[in-house]
């Protein structure tokens, strides 16, 4: 089980497959370098960024899913730890951000579905809903796709959200973190914070 979580009552967590750009998004948000690994599975414990004077923490959870060179047993252990972390801290987590790669997410989901497996992204999206954590799907690397609306509609379909994607702007946030384009994500996070009467945290987003 992960340990070392700062003692904070408010938290926003970032989760997703390995190498989808979680740490890049967090760097855009905070100006702080989160530990990133060149190889999938290198980041194996959460990265926390907290403000000493504030009762608030941003958390970068380790990547899950297939990782080249990482044994399945270890991959499953990481996923179990992520699930436990989310469950244990659900009362404090104001927003969960599920980061996916716009370029490959739909193909990966379909591949798992064809094998009668529950795709990790779909599973985690559903799990966050089950434990009542408001969720934003940050669809990263949008600059690499040509069929923007079709791709986002297809993703909504896989997540059980009726298209068109534009009606889910509090849930689906197309971004290009490396280009510094994360406005839809910060807007969606702020919307959920506002719903929970936490406009005081807007300054972080």
Residue 11 structure tokens: 């938290």
Contact in structure between 28 and 45 (CB atoms under 8 Å): no
pTM for the model: 0.91
Sheet holding 56-60, edge to edge: 47-50, 56-60, 10-16, 93-101, 135-140, 172-174
Query: Rounded to whole angstroms, how far apart are CA atoms 123 and 127?
Result: 6
136 closest CA partner among 179, 108, 172, 187: 172
The tens place of each residue's pLDDT in the chain, 205 residues long, gives 677 788 899 999 999 998 898 889 998 988 877 554 444 444 567 888 887 678 899 999 988 876 666 677 877 888 889 999 999 999 999 999 999 999 999 999 999 999 998 888 999 999 999 999 999 999 999 999 999 999 999 999 999 999 999 999 999 999 999 888 999 999 999 999 999 999 999 999 9
Domain definitions of the chain by residue range: 11-198
Show Cβ contacts of residue 89 under 8 Å, excluding neighbours closer than 6 positions.
5, 11, 13
Residue 126, classed as helix, strand or coil, is helix
CATH 3.40.50.300 matches 11-198: yes
């Amino acid at each position: 089980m992960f340990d070392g979580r700062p003692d904070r009552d408010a938290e926003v967590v970032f989760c997703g497959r390995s190498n989808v750009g979680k740490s890049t998004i967090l760097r855009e948000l905070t100006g702080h370098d989160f530990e990133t690994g060149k190889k999938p599975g290198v980041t194996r414990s959460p990265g926390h960024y907290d403000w000493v004077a504030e009762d608030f923490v941003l958390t970068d959870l380790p990547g899950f899913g297939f990782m080249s060179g990482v044994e399945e047993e270890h991959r499953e252990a990481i996923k179990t730890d992520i699930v436990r972390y989310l469950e244990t801290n659900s009362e404090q987590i104001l927003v969960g951000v599920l980061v996916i790669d716009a370029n490959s997410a739909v193909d990966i989901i379909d591949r798992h579905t064809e094998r009668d497996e529950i795709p990790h992204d779909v599973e985690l999206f559903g799990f966050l809903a089950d434990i009542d954590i408001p969720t934003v799907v940050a669809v990263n690397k949008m600059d690499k796709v040509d069929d923007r609306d079709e791709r986002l509609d297809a993703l909504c379909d896989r997540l059980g959200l009726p298209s068109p994607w534009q009606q889910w702007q509090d849930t689906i946030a197309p971004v290009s973190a490396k280009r510094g384009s994360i406005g839809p994500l910060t807007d969606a996070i702020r919307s959920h914070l506002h719903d929970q009467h936490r406009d005081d945290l807007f300054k972080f987003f």
